[in-house]
Chains A and B, each alone.
Chain A
Amino acid sequence: MPLLEVDDLHVQLQTQRGPAEAVRGIGFTLERGETLGIVGESGCGKSITVQSLMGLLPSTAQVKGSIRFDGTELVGLSERAMCEIRGNRIGMIFQEPMTALNPVHTIARQVGEPLRLHRGMARADARKEVLALLERVGIPDAASRLDAYPHQFSGGQRQRIGIAMALACGPDLLIADEPTTALDVTIQKQILELIQGLVEERGMALILISHDLGVIAQNVSKMLVMYGGSVVESGPTAAVFAERAHPYTQGLFAARPALGAPRGQKLATIRGSVPDLIDLPSGCPFAGRCRFTIDDCHATRPPPTPMPHGHAVRCIRLGEVIAEGVLE
């Protein structure tokens, strides 16, 4: 049985202009120890997806579909039951290390909180466990810094502390939502290596969200490309990077400025801009911005077209897209 099975997930949020569907029918599975990356730009629904896994959506949000975690259905689960899973079976690392830690509590208290809550550990035992965790995540001089406050650490160190907190109870699934976006590139490398090491060591499953294709390439074995609340392309990372079948995926790759590219060359851009959730077109969310758009694109959501190696793409004009790619 897979560790995580998401099937036809729909999330509706209340926005200023009325209800809008932020997630439109996503599905994926994750086995134990597998790593999954979700890549997409602002507003594509990637953060909402993982927030719905953790039950962290606002109370006005409506979730439909199924999220089965180790056999338990998470959609509609009571808050109490959800609290037992959060921090215990599923750990989460957030984007902003500067604000993810409570500034008025010591790190020993914060990292120990999940242990005391879910394992019922006494303070002294929790403290020993916290020390071991902090040393594992690479906080120098951890023993003397247990009673330090978050502001006494750098951004990279705070993220390490956040990782220690997420791992404290030995979760089966680790979710990292843009964990290195706010960090310098040299620190980013260290943090990502740390996460990789921990995932391998503890056999955890990993869901890593990033807008950076390089981060995705180096850290996950399979990936989803999201746009407008839907998954437009999915499959093993190597296959998606090699094929880049969906027009949006192609646009995403082409738009990155490359190191060492000659001066004076214009970057390829995707025409237009991401519409508001409420204004997304019916049918394929990318219809209109895509240069292969035809009338049928607006009619219904394209079903996934399977390709070799477990790679799937949602595009009804896939044949033409690939043909043109080959010709270029």
Chain B
Amino acid sequence: MSAVPSTVPSAAAFKVPGFWRRALHHRSFVIGGVLTLLLILAAAISLVWTPWSPYEMNMAHKLKPPTAAHWLGTDTFGRDVASLLLVGARASILVGVIAVGIGLVAGTALGLLAAARRGWVEEAIMRFADFSMAFPAILSAIMMTAVFGAGIVNAIIAIGIYNIPTFARITRASANAIWSREYVAAARACGKGGFAITMQHVLPNISAVLIVQSTIRFAIAILAEAALSYLGLGTQPPQPSWGRMLSEAQTMMFQAPLLAVFPGMAIALAVLGLNLLGDGLRDLLDPRLARAR
């Protein structure tokens, strides 16, 4: 008499009345949401205004602590740290969005194909995913940028490619669960083919999983960009980047320790915010809460 509960998060949850009420009471979601919004806001504001120009060097005012004029102080070249952070947010978001976008589109497509075709197609795609994941991400990114040259574009591509197998696996697992649902059998009984079923039934029902996964991978992408920039392989000067700010701050550790603290905190808060948002979404989209009856 009772239906077998699904373990795939359900996007039908959005349609249950009170979703936003529950969302706004969920601690992780709220904190994560606020932090993520701040990140986006920082990048957005930097497009129209920054306290100072991040490229303007002023050697007379270098290594200053936070003052009324420079809210977070200045770095080794006299550039305003606050402005650098704001503009650096842009790089982080750009990398996040595009790298996750690459992984999402290509990985999801592969995962959906694997689940729809089964058989040797599925095996081939999954073995390819396993193979790709066997290489440590940072190492792959370093190899790629070493071969194709440093720069933000190559960094994005490297990180993006790394996302593909992750999304492929997750998509395939969730899609398989959906393929065994009775409403898919009903669609097959109508005569619908694999592509139509995938687009009309499978994809909408795994969207919640993909949303949650995207926020998590976004956070990882920001960390990866910071790591690559730190190594000098990501964003190139004079483009501001949180990772490179950390790297430059290393040599100034004893003279101006705050130079490392601010970009470090920015990275940490961005990653924390995205992870909390992902956790919150995962809880809120839980199918047990999504089923009204």
Contacts and interface: CB of A to CB of B under 8 A. Distances in A.
Interface of A: 16-17, 42, 95, 178, 181, 211, 276
Interface residues of B, number: 7
11 contacts: A16-B16, A16-B18, A16-B289, A16-B292, A17-B18, A42-B1, A95-B2, A178-B1, A181-B1, A211-B1, A276-B293
Interface in B117-137: none
Counting chain A CB atoms within 10 Å of each CB, the highest count among B2, B16, B289, B292 belongs to: B2
Nearest to A18: B18
A237 to B, nearest CB: 22
| Interface of A (DSSP majority class) | loop
A181 B2 CA distance: 11
Nearest to A211: B1
B277 to A, nearest CB: 22
Contacts of A181: 1
A95 B293 CA distance: 20
Counting chain A CB atoms within 10 Å of each CB, the highest count among B1, B16, B292, B293 belongs to: B1
A181 B18 CA distance: 35
B34 to A, nearest CB: 25
B293 to A, nearest CB: 8
Contacts of B2: 95
Interface string B1-33: 110000000000000101000000000000000
A95 B289 CA distance: 23
A270 B18 CA distance: 32
Contacts of A276: 293
A278 to B, nearest CB: 11
A302 to B, nearest CB: 28
A42 B16 CA distance: 22
Interface string B260-273: 00000000000000
Contacts of A17: 18
| Interface of B (DSSP majority class) | loop
Nearest to B19: A16
Given A16-B18, A181-B1, 9 more contacts: A16-B16, A16-B289, A16-B292, A17-B18, A42-B1, A95-B2, A178-B1, A211-B1, A276-B293
Contacts of A42: 1
B198 to A, nearest CB: 30
* 10 A-B pairs with the lowest CB-CB distances in the bound complex, closest first: A42-B1, A181-B1, A16-B18, A16-B292, A16-B16, A211-B1, A16-B289, A17-B18, A178-B1, A276-B293
A16 B18 CA distance: 8
B142 to A, nearest CB: 41
Interface in B276-293: 289, 292-293
Nearest to A15: B292
Interface string B158-195: 00000000000000000000000000000000000000
B260 to A, nearest CB: 45
B288 to A, nearest CB: 10
Nearest to A98: B4
A95 B4 CA distance: 13
Contacts of B1: 42, 178, 181, 211
B10 to A, nearest CB: 14
Contacts of A16: 16, 18, 289, 292
B18 to A, nearest CB: 6
B16 to A, nearest CB: 7
A249 to B, nearest CB: 20
A243 B2 CA distance: 31
A61 to B, nearest CB: 16
B283 to A, nearest CB: 14
A85 B77 CA distance: 73
A178 to B, nearest CB: 8
A42 B1 CA distance: 8
A211 B2 CA distance: 13
A227 to B, nearest CB: 16
B43 to A, nearest CB: 37
Nearest to B292: A16
Counting chain B CB atoms within 10 Å of each CB, the highest count among A16, A17, A276 belongs to: A16
Contacts of A95: 2
Contacts of A178: 1
Nearest to B290: A16
A59 to B, nearest CB: 15
Contacts of B292: 16
A276 B292 CA distance: 10
A178 B2 CA distance: 11
Nearest to B291: A16
A279 to B, nearest CB: 12
Nearest to A41: B1
A95 B2 CA distance: 10
A276 B1 CA distance: 17
A258 B289 CA distance: 38
A298 B126 CA distance: 62
